[in-house]
């Protein structure tokens, strides 16, 4: 695992995430959101989970970011009026970050380097999904179908 790559990816990801959280224009925030997810997918590649990284790119940048952009365009009239910024949120977020960092640094058993493992091939993931995880897989399929049908029913125009 490469240290320089890790530093570059973490700076990119955190900067894009911070931009997505604080930029005033919604469209710029949505694009920074997509960049932040590119960074997270790069982390997954760095950690050796290539399949999950690709799934993240397909689902978040291909579907969720596009869905967010569509929603912004459909609710356009409101964009100028996004003025409120709650400063107590900053305090809470910084406090949570300090607490988590303190807990992580205090736990000595977490300062380990990655062991050498067998490469995780798509074949192994597919075998696991089709044998020991087949029941959760079907439940997830049902949940996704129900959620997407529910979203469609929610936004359907009512006939009057």
Partner 1 sequence: MTPTLQIFLIVSAALFSIGLLAALSRRHAIFILIGIEMMLAAANLNFIAFWRFAPKPHQPPVGVMLALFSIAISAAEAAVGLAMVIVAYRHYRTTNVDQLDQLKG
Shortest Å distance, C-beta 160 to partner 1: 14
Our CB check for partner 1 shows the closer of 154 and 160 to be 154
Shortest Å distance, C-beta 52 to partner 1: 5
Shortest Å distance, C-beta 159 to partner 1: 15
Shortest Å distance, C-beta 98 to partner 1: 9
Please report how many Cα atoms fall inside a 13 Å half-sphere around the Cα of residue 70, on the Cβ side: 6
Shortest Å distance, C-beta 45 to partner 1: 10
Please give the full DSSP string across 98-152, using - where no structure is assigned.
HHHHHHHHH-GGG--PPPP-----HHHHHHHHHTTTHHHHHHHHHHHHHHHHHHH
Cα→Cα distances 6→9, 32, 64, 70, Å: 5, 19, 25, 33
Q: Which of 9, 30, 12 is nearest to 21 (CA)?
A: 30
Q: How far apart are CA 159 and CA 48, in angstroms?
A: 51
Q: Are 36 and 16 in contact (CB under 8 A)?
A: yes
Q: How far apart are CA 122 and CA 50, in angstroms?
A: 9
């Amino acid at each position: 695992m490469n240290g320089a790559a890790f530093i570059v990816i973490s700076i990119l990801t955190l900067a894009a995430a911070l931009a997505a959280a604080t930029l005033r224009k919604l469209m710029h925030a949505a694009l920074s959101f997509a960049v932040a997810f590119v960074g997270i997918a790069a982390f997954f590649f760095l950690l050796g989970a290539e399949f999950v990284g690709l799934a993240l790119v397909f689902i978040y940048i291909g579907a969720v970011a596009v869905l967010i952009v569509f929603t912004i365009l459909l609710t356009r009239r409101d964009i100028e009026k996004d003025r409120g910024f709650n400063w107590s949120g900053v305090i809470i977020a910084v406090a949570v970050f300090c607490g988590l960092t303190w807990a992580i640094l205090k736990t000595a058993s977490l300062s380990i380097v990655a062991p050498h493992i067998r490469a995780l091939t798509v074949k192994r993931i597919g075998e696991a999904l089709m044998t020991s995880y087949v029941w959760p897989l079907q439940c997830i399929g049902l949940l996704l179908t129900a959620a997407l049908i529910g979203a469609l029913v929610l936004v359907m125009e009512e006939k009057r």
